[in-house]
Amino acid sequence: MTTISLFNTLHRRKEEFKPIDASNVRMYVCGPTVYDRAHLGNAKTPVVFDVLNRLLRHVYGSGHVTYVSNITDVDDKILNKHKETGKSIREITKQTYRWYVDDMAKLNVMAPDYRPRATEYINEMIELVKLLLQNGHAYEAEGHVLFDVDSMPGYGYSSGRSMKEMLAGARIEVADYKKNPADFVLWKPSEADQPGWDSPWGYGRPGWHLECSAMSSKLLGNSFDIHGGGSDLIFPHHENECAQSMCAHPNDTFANYWVHGGMLMVDGVKMSKSLGNFYTIDEVLEKAPAEALRLLFLTTHYHQPFNFTFEGLAQAKATLDKFYNALLRVKDVAAEPRVDERVAEALADDMNTPLALTYLHELSGRLNKAETPEEQAECKALLQGSADLLGLLFQSPEEWFKGGSDDEAAAIEEQIAARAQAKKDKNWALADEIRNRLKEQGIILEDTPQGTTWKKI
């Protein structure tokens, strides 16, 4: 069996991955808060952990992995969007959730086994708060229930920071009723016109950190294998998850491996609306196919900072053109996809996607040079199977090169039919005019004995 190693943020080193139960490898990854269009950062994390999900299923078997990624559908950001737009909270979360799911499908991110919504697990959150109060790790103050960080001697062990460092590096909500400025909200009161639920502490709603602890515990158990997310979540979110989960269940370990993706930047600086370099996924996909964005994410090791540029996106598309051209050449050759073990080993070494991609380039080159049907079938099988482990080359070459909408494709086919009629009428000037017009639109025609085919460039 392939041995997987991962950089474990908990110990700040790369470690061999040893699951609690190899027959049920369990992973939880923090999902988005659904209040607006998903942005590039919301896309990078799911793509990274989709590769890990695929690798785990390759190594342990598809039926032996449980992957959970949540949806936060109760949050102050959602309330603010409600006030800003006048739309109902239900309308906002329903629409933005659908946008997110559609974006993930375009990026070929496999749906997790469970995609829990926070509002579906309020009872579990209330029970978790009760446990923390019972164990002496929480207190009530002015309608709130807060976690008492001083009650946990090891607070800060997850992020590896001292209390002074944590307070200096985070936006801490100042409140007179807190015993320690770092104490965080488990339950907060809601106004009558705000989302809320009845609880032993009054009508209110959960704190953000509480949600993930309750959902992961319910779906994966109090101890599970991998917890993932972006590096921006290390503190305070993941630190506070650790604190409340381990204090509520002192005999369990919560997550054994903490895996974090590097920061996302645009043109070398942090993505920000104020800097004018903030892009939603749908905005980026107006410039290039979703598969090009997925490939671009994988060209940088997940643990390192990732720099998005539109030049890089164009290069990623050119790379996919190369791969799909190699497959187009052997489109009629039958092959059963299988993984090149070099690709599997590269991904098993802390998800080294840049190295895995070099092997895809090599396989594509070999496929282009293959002459016998046997060689072509072998190379095609390895290229397709290995690419699938990365979530790439999931379209047929014809689909890739045609791209666009059904209406656009129909319009192109109509012009090709008009050109065929012109040739039949020996109107060569019109036939050439149509070909040139299509070429100007980035459409290349190829006349074959079976008819005329086309692709985008």
Q: Residue type at 370? A: A
Give pLDDT tens digits for 15-70: 999 999 999 999 999 999 999 999 999 999 999 999 999 999 999 999 999 999 99
Average pLDDT of the residues in 66-89 = 95
- Other residues' Cβ atoms within 10 Å of the Cβ of residue 397: 19
Q: What φ, ψ does residue 307 adopt, rounded to 5°?
A: -110, 115
Identify whether the C-beta of residue 6 lies closer than 8 Å to the C-beta of residue 14. yes
pLDDT tens, residue by residue, 391-447: 999 999 989 988 765 566 667 878 888 998 999 899 999 989 999 988 887 788 888
Tokens linked to 335: 């092959």
Two tokens, residue 66 = 């449980």
Cα 3 from Cα 7, distance rounded (Å): 14
Neighbouring CB atoms inside 10 A of 53's CB total 24
Confidence grade of residue 214 (pLDDT, cut at 50, 70, 90): very high
Which pLDDT does position 321 carry in this prediction? 94
Report which of 186, 201, 200, 174 is spatially closest to residue 148, judged by C-alpha positions. Answer: 186
How many CB atoms sit inside 10 A of residue 336's CB?
A: 9
H/E segment holding residue 139: strand 138-141
Q: Which two tokens stand for residue 211?
A: 């949600």
pLDDT at 99 over 80: yes
Domains of the chain from N-terminus onward: 5-261 (3.40.50.620), 266-400 (no CATH), 404-456 (no CATH)
Q: What is the pLDDT of residues 103-115, one digit of tens each?
A: 999 999 999 999 9
Strands 264-266 and 144-147, bridge-based pairing: unpaired
Instruction: Give the tens place of pLDDT for each residue, 329-355.
Output: 999 999 999 999 999 999 999 999 999
Contacts of 133 (CB under 8 A, 6+ apart): 139, 140, 145
